[in-house]
A and B are shown apart, each in its own frame.
Chain A
Amino acid sequence: MLSFLYARQSGLDDPVRLRRAESTRRVLSLKLNHNRDVDRIHGNGINTLDIEVIDGRYMLSGGSDGVIVIYDLENNSKKPQYTCKAICTVGRSSRHVHKFSVETVQWYPHDTGMFVSSSFDKTMKVWDTETLKPAEEFQFDGNVYCHHMSPVARRHSLVAALLCSVLAVGTKDPKVQLCDLKSGSRIHILQGHRGEILSVRWSPRYDHILATASTDSRVRIWDVRRASGSLFTLDQHNGDKSKVSSEAVNTAHNGRVNGLCFTADGLHLLSTGTDDRMRLWNSGTGENTLVNYGKVVNESRKGLKFTVSRGCSPEFVFVPCGSSVAVYGLHSGELITMLRGHYNNVDCCEFHPDYQELYSGGKDCNILAWVPVLRQPGIEDDETNSKRGGTQAAINPAFEDAWSSDED
């Protein structure tokens, strides 16, 4: 670490290098910290978490009971022991609360005045954070599994909502509905999937590229400016049709695809499926990079929300696997560690890029904060300080000797 600081100071190294090395070191030392806690408000499992992009201070969570909670993550008390308090909640007593489970919540990408939530009660609501009332409500015909707003969009403010349709009702196909926040209307529908769509993501690089994942084992990439269908479908065998049985040709996974995540630079896309595999794709060409992560246990019937680290040198993927969170190296595919701490299945996790912390929520109604632990404070120093009545100066252990005594 000192060598990095010296190299930065003397100009040998780019400033970014020190930042990346230290971020990586912090991510590798993530542990449950007994000083950091998150208020427990939800009575039923937590389905989704989102940390706002501007300050990284407020976190939204949505639960299976339809409740939405906003937490303040910043530690303003002068003590290390801190519980992230819930500032406000849209609880069951509110008139506008969702009737069924909230599946996805997301802050408006440009400020915290607004957030959008979608739920199994077939509605998507745009909330005003100040008054906690919905400013806009979109009604749909089918359950909404996921929605996403583009984090980079300046020219448009479209929210892509996914519907699965109950196939028994009429002949409606599963479709992706694009809704415009400025006008409050639906713009157009992207059709092409043959099964329920479980996850949708806008690309963080281009504001017109969208990726969707569905139960028909396919992942499609769309350009919303075009009138025709999807740009391409991700194929796990890269066009090598000889490797599979003929029904499985051109699929991204051998089972339902239930999670999508772009890397921070938008160049790669990760997808997880119920065939217990995770795949890394080149988002420009749709090619499978064939990084082998091994068996990534995945039994989720709904979408799985996982996340990628930002600002580290080998990037890391944090995937909920059963009741723990698995950390994989993004490009190497090796399993770095498993973060164990939840009592039941983990459904969602979210990475805080400024402090390199991970928040994960699951069916046990807890949100756990995984905090980097680097140096333990010396227990000796604390004890001697309290004995002397709070003296500030602590003796550096390097200057202590074994033969002199303290009483002199």
Chain B
Amino acid sequence: MNRKRALIADTFCLTKRRRCAADSVTGDSQADGAADIRSSLKYLVTLFSRKLFNDSLPPVVLKHQLYSLHNDKTAVDKQVNELRENGELLMFQLGFDSEAFALVFAEDYRAKVLQGEAGRGTLGTVEKFLAKLIPSCSDLSFNKEKMLKEFLFTDSEITQLVKSGVLTVRDAGSWWLSIPNSGKFIKYFIKGRKAVLGMVKKSKYGEILKTELEGRRTTSQVKFQMKYHIHDIIGAELVECIQTTSGTLLRHVDGNVN
């Protein structure tokens, strides 16, 4: 790597060096120092398109989208876990990638689920489940003994929960926690991610400036906002992020070439 300024350890650096000019040019704000995850989550929530699902889904953010906003991945993980311990945030295993986790604010989740259940017979069971889940539990999946002994649900109640979409089958006798009506979300998300990656790949030299990609017209495959997908592909390291004098450059990462 051609570095005009040498790497320097913290002990020798009494004044912070100024960051690369590119960031101030594009106006991106990188929170350094103590990162506030909650405000980043709120920002990502605004990028989520509610109308697409007729307001039946709570706003879903993926955990690796936070990595594109903050530098220190370990600190991000730690703060997300703190929020989950406090009961403000719920994490879900989406199923298409073992490393992709979805984050939803607990109040949003509760509101949407109850809204979806209004008028159905399963409402009572779902309320009981949410009351048990939200304050204290931070598991992603539940198995049979837990449901029967700790939460005191009967088999028929478990079936009702699966029917309502709050639980999804994981294997015999255990279930994932899930978001009702999230199938459509996952389908659009995967298609949109593939389309955006295709756009980066097809560009000349396989690379494109981030600002230019944000300005491109989206195809019908891409249902979410472009920025939502861009945070996703940067955070999941599906593209390489390079700082240049004209801004951030996204380069397509081929699996074999490095």
Contacts and interface: CB of A to CB of B under 8 A. Distances in A.
Interface of A: 1, 21, 24-25, 28-29, 240-246, 248, 254, 290-295, 297, 299, 313-314, 321-324, 332-334, 336-338, 340
A291 B98 contact: no
B72 A313 contact: no
Given A243-B93, A332-B72, A254 B98 contact: yes
A21 B258 contact: no
A21 B256 contact: no
Contact of B237 (A243, A291, A294, A324): A294
B72 A21 contact: no
Interface in B85-124: 93, 98-99
Contact of B174 (A246, A294, A336): A246
Contacts of A28: 6-9
Interface stretch (B136-144, B149-157, B186-194, B208-216): B136-144
B7 A29 contact: yes
Given A242-B142, A248-B98, A295-B237, A337 B258 contact: no
Contacts of A324: 258
B73 A294 contact: yes
Contact of A294 (B67, B78, B255, B257): B67
A399 to B, nearest CB: 27
Nearest to A345: B258
Interface string B68-85: 000111101110000000
Contacts of B10: 314
Interface in B36-75: 67, 71-74
Interface in B1-23: 1, 3, 6-12
B132 interface: no
Those 8 A-B pairs whose CB atoms lie nearest each other, nearest first? A322-B258, A292-B73, A242-B139, A28-B7, A295-B237, A242-B141, A24-B9, A242-B140
A51 to B, nearest CB: 24
Contact of A340 (B1, B8, B76, B99): B1
Given A25-B8, A246-B171, A313-B11, A334 B71 contact: yes
A28 B256 CA distance: 27
B170 interface: yes
A291 B237 CA distance: 17
A333 B139 CA distance: 26
Interface of B: 1, 3, 6-12, 67, 71-74, 76-78, 93, 98-99, 139-142, 170-171, 174, 237, 255-258
B256 A299 contact: yes
Contacts of B6: 28-29
28 contacts: A21-B12, A24-B11, A28-B6, A28-B9, A29-B6, A240-B139, A241-B141, A242-B142, A243-B93, A243-B141, A244-B98, A245-B170, A290-B78, A292-B77, A294-B67, A297-B258, A299-B256, A313-B9, A313-B11, A314-B9, A314-B10, A321-B258, A322-B256, A332-B74, A333-B73, A336-B7, A337-B3, A338-B1
B64 to A, nearest CB: 10
Contacts of B139: 240, 242
B12 A245 contact: no
Nearest to B101: A243
Given A299-B256, A313-B11, 7 more contacts: A246-B170, A248-B98, A290-B74, A292-B74, A294-B67, A336-B7, A338-B1
B128 to A, nearest CB: 20
Interface centre among B67, B174, B258 (most CB of A within 10 A): B258
Contacts of B98: 244-245, 248, 254
A241 B176 CA distance: 11
Contacts of A340: 1
A5 to B, nearest CB: 13
Nearest to A20: B11
A291 B73 CA distance: 8
A322 B142 contact: no
Contacts of A248: 98
Nearest to A327: B7
A177 to B, nearest CB: 33
A322 to B, nearest CB: 3
Nearest to A293: B73
A395 to B, nearest CB: 27
A15 to B, nearest CB: 15
Nearest to A17: B11
Given A294-B237, A321-B258, A324-B258, A337 B1 contact: yes
A64 B93 CA distance: 43
Contacts of A246: 170-171, 174
A337 B140 contact: no
A337 B258 CA distance: 14
B100 to A, nearest CB: 12
Nearest to B172: A246
A104 to B, nearest CB: 24
Contacts of B258: 297, 321-324
